[in-house]
Amino acid sequence: MKHYHVSKENGRVVEAYDSNFILTSILRTNDPVQISIMHLEEGGVIGYHQASMPQLLMVVSGRGEVRGAENTYVEIKTHEAAFWEKGEWHETRSEEGLTAIVIEGPVLKVSALKEKKYE
């Protein structure tokens, strides 16, 4: 067994698209599939941009808001996820901070997840 440290101290600051978060890469494959941890501090943001490939953001701690092209923010919290298709405009922000696992890949499918309905 190997043991790894995936805290924000081992990540890199991302400021593209007016962002303010720390990205810790976990895995990249030749497919290409990428798995990362996003660390947003209080007031952090993953700026508004187009998804380069299908992307799943799964919150593992904290809470924040996400939006797509429709410019309506939706709350997201621990044990919830957001999915964006390739080319979809999106943004994530957090007033209190959040940590999320992000999986990106050209053939990413989320059919096993149960979609949350908003009222």
Domain boundaries in the chain? 23-104
**Rounded distance, CA 87 to CA 84, Å?**
8
Most confident region among 44-48, 109-113, 114-118 by mean pLDDT: 44-48
Give the predicted TM-score (pTM) of the model: 0.82
Question: Is residue 110 over pLDDT 80?
Answer: no
Higher pLDDT, 95 or 119: 95
**Rounded distance, CA 25 to CA 115, Å?**
27
Contacts of 20 (CB under 8 A, 6+ apart): 14, 40, 41, 43, 44, 45
Q: Which fold has domain 23-104?
A: Jelly Rolls (2.60.120)
pLDDT digits (tens, 9 = 90+) for 35-85: 999 999 999 999 999 999 999 999 999 999 999 988 899 999 999 999 999
Q: What is the pLDDT of residue 112?
A: 67
